[in-house]
Amino acid sequence: MFRNILLWASENTWMKKHIPDMYFTRKAVKRFMPGEELSDALDSAQLFREQGIGTVFTYLGENITSLAEAETVTEHYISAIGEIGKHELFTEISLKLTQIGLDYSFDEALQNFFCIARAARQKDSLVWIDMEGSSYTEITLNFFEKVRGKLPNVGLCIQAYLDRTESDLHKIFQRPAHIRLVKGAYRESPAVALSRKSQVDENYLRLAQLLLEKSAESNGRIVFATHDMSLIDQIQNFAEKDNLAKNRFEIHMLYGIRSSDVVRLKEEGYLVRILISCGDAWYTWYIRRLAERPANLLFVLRNIFRR
């Protein structure tokens, strides 16, 4: 119930406009991001680099309102890639296609993406394509096929709660691919997505096993993006059973969540990255993060009222 309420709140127009200006909300969001500016993300990434932990940057926002805005976002990412290179950070980029104009022009979004991915390739880095709501799944898969045919440094996020994902994976892996598996954070119809946590977890593990099998067959990167330590433990057991080296897959977590587990996994020899967000369009993203694990809401409330 709490998850559905939070997802509704993430889409509510009035709340999007007014809640981000409230003091308690701005204080609470600091749990999940070091600051709104790129410089905040860069400083945080430097600290993680000193611990041997990689990072992924994402500039918050989606469904921009014009192609001019898409160009601004594209310039931001190219600038960020330049700063990442200048500071010699172990950092990649992750973006939403609706940020770079997909709602207005597939071709314009494609050109914007090529500009970003080429800049990243010059730094020997990869760009991740985030998956959005289910209405974008098919066009995002088509977009991914277009770009990976021309550039090798492109990865795709896929969502475990969608009914179609296993079938999509079999098609994707007709060629080697870089894949990041998440549970999914959008409000979806039961006609296209699993609704109960137990179902999503079960499907996540089934897809994880498939990805581990594919990783043994190709050089593609496999990423499990989850804070669910029970799932991570079971994935580790799958890998050990199949004699897969610890560096055959990665674990990605959000900034500010399970920090001690991140350090422990790194010390145990696993490849770990932290997703760091920046930008002022954080409301929708933040509420979805709470919806992924409603227990986080209690943690946030405790921190807000802590003296």
Per domain, the residue ranges of the chain are 34-281
Highest mean pLDDT among 59-68, 128-137, 274-283: 128-137
| Least confident range of 116-120, 226-230, 237-241, 303-307 | 303-307
Residues 6+ apart with CB under 8 A from 56: 91, 92, 93, 94, 128, 252, 273, 274, 275, 276
Catalytic residue selected from 31, 148, 180, 289: 180
Q: Which residue, chain included where needed, has tokens 């350090």? A: 263
280 is catalytic: no
Q: What does the block give as tokens for 65?
A: 């309102």
Asked if pLDDT for residue 14 goes beyond 70, the answer is no
CA distances from 241 to 64, 207, 210, 212, 238 (A): 45, 16, 14, 11, 5
Q: Other CB atoms closer than 10 Å to residue 250's CB: what's the count?
A: 18
Q: What does the block give as tokens for 287?
A: 């509420």
| Least confident range of 52-66, 70-84, 287-301 | 287-301
Q: Which residue, chain included where needed, has tokens 């145990």? A: 268
Q: What is the pLDDT of residues 137-184, one digit of tens each?
A: 999 999 999 999 899 999 999 999 999 999 999 999 999 999 999 999
| Least confident range of 53-62, 177-186, 291-300 | 291-300
| Mean pLDDT of the residues in the chain | 87
Reference 42, options 281, 276, 279, 286; nearest CA is 276
Phi, psi torsion values for 19, nearest 5 degrees:
-65, -40
Q: What is the pLDDT of residues 221-272, one digit of tens each?
A: 999 999 999 999 999 999 999 899 999 999 999 998 889 999 999 999 999 9
175 is catalytic: no
CATH dotted code for 34-281: 3.20.20.220
Task: Look at 175 and 286; give whichever has higher pLDDT.
Answer: 175
Catalytic residue selected from 130, 201, 228, 273: 130
Sign, CA dihedral 286-281-78-104, equals positive
